[in-house]
Amino acid sequence: MQIFRNPDSGQWPALQQRPLAASNAAILARAGEIFDDVARRGDEALRQYAAELDGVPDLTDLRVGAEALAAGAAQVPAALQAAIRQAIQNIEKFHAAQRPAAVEAEVETMPGVRCWRRSVAVPRVGLYVPGGSAPLFSTLLMLGIPARLAGCREIVLCTPPGRGDGRIAPAILFAAQELGLTTIIKAGGRRPWRPLPWARPRCRPWTRFLVPATAT
């Protein structure tokens, strides 16, 4: 690690550059290739990239089954379980207070003409939660709870398989279980980032796909 103390202002632009900024164009091009390849080849492409990028050579099932979900969630220590449940209560309370009325601001613009604003939930939504060396179950809470409160009928969770064994981080599975999410797809990076043909029949393509800011 390098430490710079009171650098001259002329050095600031160079110091603020991200290490990979120079190769950003190449990264975006590669991401686009993967994006299109998954759209064309579906499950076959997802398994190939799981082996190539996630180090999971034998990923046979792209969806987490009910038994695997329960078994993984059960591995979470009691103290962390309690902390996640408390976080869920806090986040639900905060977002519930922001939920608008079903019909807002009804106005009669002229005799017999009434106008209003109505809030309608997105019917199907996909959530991307980073995994790997830093499984961000907090991201799942911050995305999943508002989606649930909004009334989204279908919520699909996408998260990378663990390197080597292909398992999802137990904390992510526990949080998903607490939120009542049962459709969990093992796919990381940009692979699941749009309504794709491979989503059927495992899950229908989503109307919106939400990711944390650090994943964009």
pLDDT in tens, 89-120: 999 999 999 887 777 778 999 999 999 888 88
Beta bridge partners of 186: 159
The verdict on pTM exceeding 0.85 is: no
The reported pLDDT for the residue numbered 207 is 52
The reported pLDDT for the residue numbered 195 is 41
The reported pLDDT for the residue numbered 44 is 85
Element (H, E) at 208: strand 208-210
pLDDT along the chain (216 residues), means of 10: 82 76 72 84 85 83 90 95 97 90 83 88 86 85 93 89 86 96 82 47 52 50
On whether the CB atoms of residues 128 and 193 are closer than 8 A, the answer is yes
Which stretches of 23-146 are assigned E, i.e. beta strand? 103-110, 113-118, 124-128
CA nearest to 55, candidates 134, 132, 151: 132
* Cα 120 to Cα 77: distance, rounded to the nearest angstrom: 38
Kindly report, residue by residue over 181-195, the tens digit of the pLDDT: 999 988 876 555 544
Return the SS3 of 88: helix
CATH classification for the domain delimited by 23-215, as one of 3.40.50.1980, 3.40.50.620, 3.40.720.10, 3.40.50.300: 3.40.50.1980
